[in-house]
């Protein structure tokens, strides 16, 4: 399965780092929680970080119906770009010029569309389950007023460019560098810390299962890759 990359979106520099593997794209999107949405507003570029969820072949975003450039962009059907990057490590070469990063990144371009009203509840649940797995079952349901104040948008994964780098520094036995200088990779690992109760949570209140699963590494998304 491949990403739908148009010729105009082909990567020109280091094209061998481009991938059209759909499973790699899904893995990247499913391993991160925050992306950056970009659009031109009155001729000025605007970029905003947003939590998101991938559902099938769409990225789901949400915001307040009271405003926000994303909603205006959706209403005007302006082209947008949504980018997600995972930093996997720093690559230490024997020169600063050759040093690099191991990463996976994807940029989706297209037009935001509003999720139909009859699909809003399911979309909000999917977003909540992605960002806080298991939490919806532990708290009260959404009031209709809250749902009405929230707009859910989606962006199709039709026009995607994905680029990645992995492995160690570029080196050869006869590259002229001093091989007694250390070179290699420092992987980046991210894990959730111990939960901290809010100020109004009574002392002794049990930590819910969803929080325990996340913070102890027993949940599906306990480790951010």
- Report residue 223's pLDDT band, with 50, 70 and 90 as the boundaries: very low
Q: Give the pLDDT mean for 73-85.
A: 86
Q: What is the pLDDT of residue 40?
A: 85
CA distance 221 to 18: 26
Residue 1 has pLDDT above 70, yes or no: no
Amino acid 154: pLDDT:
94
Residue 84 phi, psi (nearest 5): -130, 135
pTM for the whole structure: 0.86
CA distance 119 to 72: 20
**121 phi, psi to nearest 5 deg:** -60, -45
* SS3 call for 209: helix
Residue 66 confidence (pLDDT): 67
More confident residue, 222 or 216: 216
- 122-to-55, 66, 148, 159 alpha-carbon distances in Å: 11, 21, 14, 25
Greater confidence (168 vs 217) lies with 168
**Spatial distance between the Cα atoms of 173 and 136, rounded to a whole number of angstroms:** 56
In tens, the pLDDT along 172-197 reads 999 999 999 999 999 999 999 999 99
Instruction: Quote the CA–CA distance of 32 and 11 in Å, as a whole number.
Output: 23
CA distance 29 to 22: 11
Residue the block writes with tokens 């094209």: 15
Residue with tokens 């111990």: 194
Tokens standing for residue 123:
């979309």
Average pLDDT over residues 75-80: 82
């Amino acid at each position: 399965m491949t990403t739908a990359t148009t010729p105009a979106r082909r990567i020109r520099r280091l094209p061998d780092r481009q991938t059209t593997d759909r499973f790699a794209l899904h893995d990247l999107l499913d391993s991160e929680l925050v992306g950056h949405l970009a659009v031109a507003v009155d001729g000025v570029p605007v970029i905003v970080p947003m939590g998101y969820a991938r559902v099938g072949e769409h990225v789901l975003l949400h915001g307040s119906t009271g405003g926000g450039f994303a909603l205006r962009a959706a209403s005007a059907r302006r082209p947008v770009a949504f980018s997600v990057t995972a930093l996997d490590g720093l690559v230490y070469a024997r020169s600063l010029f050759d040093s690099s990063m191991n990463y996976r990144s994807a940029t989706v371009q297209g037009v935001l569309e509003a999720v139909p009203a009859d699909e809003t509840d399911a979309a909000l649940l999917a977003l909540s389950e992605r960002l806080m797995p298991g939490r919806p079952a532990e708290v009260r349901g959404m009031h209709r007023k809250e749902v009405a104040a929230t707009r859910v948008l989606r962006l199709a994964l039709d026009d995607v460019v994905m680029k990645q780098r992995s492995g160690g520094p570029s080196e050869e036995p006869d590259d002229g560098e001093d091989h007694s200088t250390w070179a290699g990779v420092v992987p980046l690992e991210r894990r959730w810390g111990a939960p901290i109760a809010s100020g109004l949570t009574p002392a002794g209140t049990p930590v819910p299962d969803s929080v325990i699963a996340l913070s102890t590494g027993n949940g599906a998304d306990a480790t951010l890759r």
